[in-house]
């Protein structure tokens, strides 16, 4: 007896993966919030700025700035 199981389209699979990722992110945020005692909610956006100076050769340098 052959049973046919419905398969998801790639769009449905992508949507399901996205939803699972969002649920996992919310779970991690909640765990981090609890661990931090709600002093700094993990779900709040954080801006980071990293600046590096690279010395390429004597007298030549390049500054790299990364904003996250």
HEC string for 16-51: HHHHHHHHHHHHHHHHHHHHCCCCCCCCCCCCCEEE
Alpha-carbon distance of 18 to 43, in angstroms, equals 17
Q: How confident is the model at residue 17 (pLDDT cuts 50, 70, 90)?
A: very high
Strand partners of residue 61: 55
Give the separation between CA 32 and CA 28, rounded to whole angstroms: 6
Look at 49 and 41; give whichever has higher pLDDT.
49
Tell me what pLDDT residue 24 has: 93
**Higher pLDDT among residues 68 and 28, named by residue:** 28
Look up tokens 């600046």; give the residue.
Answer: 51
């Amino acid at each position: 007896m052959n049973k046919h199981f419905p398969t998801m389209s790639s769009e449905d699979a992508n949507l399901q993966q996205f939803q699972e990722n969002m649920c996992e992110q919310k779970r991690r945020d909640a765990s981090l919030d609890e661990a931090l005692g709600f002093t700094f909610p993990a779900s709040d956006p954080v801006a980071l700025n990293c600046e590096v100076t690279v010395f390429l050769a004597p007298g030549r340098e390049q500054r790299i700035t990364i904003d996250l």
